[in-house]
Amino acid sequence: MQRDPELPENIRDYNYSEDKEWSREELDIFEKSLLDYGKDFPRVSDKVRTKTTADCVKFYQQWKKKYSVDYDRIKNIWKKRETAFTLNLLKNVPPPVNDNPLFPSTASSLKSESLLNPCDIVSSL
């Protein structure tokens, strides 16, 4: 059987960790960690050190509204990184193979003699 959680002696004076102010240093580390790790809050809290993962998640929810300019800046960097990553992956994808002469798959097959004349197709029907 689980024990009930222990409450502070004077519950009215208890400071909840999410209500505590964040120092400028903690905020700077938080923002840099968001840049480095995204929303991986366990890693963010490891870098902040003075806050728990739950503190970082709760603070993030408030921070992105209060510091919307900083949030937008970081979000744009995330998008640029994701786009660059996707483009890098696409570089390694081979071009599609297409044997249909009406829709050549490569620029080299765009020679005029390799294309069929639409009139020839219709007359052959």
The per-residue pLDDT for range 93-109, each reduced to its tens digit, is 777 666 666 666 555 54
Confidence category of residue 32, pLDDT binned at 50, 70, 90? very high
pLDDT at 14: 46
pLDDT, tens digit, 9 for 90 and up, residues 39-76: 899 999 999 999 999 999 999 998 888 888 888 888 88
Handedness of CA 41, 43, 45, 48 (dihedral sign): negative
Spatial separation of the C-alpha atoms in residues 71 and 32, rounded to whole Å: 12
| Residue 88 phi, psi dihedral angles, 5° rounding | -65, -40
Higher pLDDT, 88 or 58: 58
Report the predicted TM-score, pTM, of the whole model to 2 decimal places.
0.53
Domains and their CATH numbers in the chain = 20-91 (1.10.10)
